[in-house]
């Protein structure tokens, strides 16, 4: 060792390189390999979680589509039910109005028939009274003499009685 502070010794260099290689191999087996294994395990877990999240998103989207489809079906059923109910209500309304119109026509027809019958009965009654008056007048004429004054009086009496009978 002569006065050189730093001496380059080839054996020292080789030993340093061997030390570095041994240190590298020790670190590789005891430090890097377990760390890499943990990192790979975490990467696999992250990948699994990512796939599970993607699957959950896909399932959620399918459920949303399914629910939207069901909502559309429910809306269609609702509108169909409303249309059916409206149709039935219209048919029931038409039936009720038709029945009411038919009943009203029957009532009017019955009233007209009763009115016609009442008019015919009153007309027949009036004709009977007139016939009775004519018969009575004829009887009086036959019983009395044929005089113009008597005929005129009987005629006036007949007209006045007939007028009273018709008025009542």
**Could you tell me which residue, 126 or 143, shows the higher pLDDT?**
126
Sign of the C-alpha dihedral computed for residues 98, 104, 110 and 116 taken in this order: negative
Residue position matching structure tokens 């309304």:
93
This prediction has a pTM of 0.42
Q: How far is residue 133's CA from residue 149's CA, in Å, rounded to a whole number?
A: 19
Buried b (16+ CB within 10 A) or exposed e, 129-163: beeebeeebeeeeeeeeeeeeeeeebeeebeebbe
For the stretch 63-93, pLDDT in tens is: 999 999 999 999 999 999 999 999 999 999 9
For the stretch 129-148, pLDDT in tens is: 888 888 887 777 776 655 66
């Amino acid at each position: 060792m002569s006065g050189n502070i730093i001496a380059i010794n080839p054996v020292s260099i080789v030993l340093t390189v061997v030390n570095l290689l041994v240190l590298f191999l020790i670190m590789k087996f005891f430090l890097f390999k377990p760390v890499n294994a943990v990192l790979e395990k975490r990467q696999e877990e992250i990948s699994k979680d990512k796939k599970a999240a993607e699957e959950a998103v896909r399932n959620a989207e399918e459920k949303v589509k399914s629910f939207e489809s069901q909502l559309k079906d429910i809306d269609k059923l609702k509108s169909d039910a409303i249309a059916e109910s409206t149709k039935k209500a219209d048919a029931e309304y038409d039936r009720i109005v038709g029945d009411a119109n038919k009943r009203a026509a029957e009532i009017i027809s019955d009233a007209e028939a009763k009115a016609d019958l009442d008019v015919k009965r009153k007309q027949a009654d009036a004709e009977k009274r007139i016939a009775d008056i004519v018969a009575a007048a004829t009887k009086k004429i036959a019983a009395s003499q044929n005089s113009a004054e008597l005929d005129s009086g009987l005629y006036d009496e007949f007209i006045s009685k007939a007028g009273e009978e018709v008025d009542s």
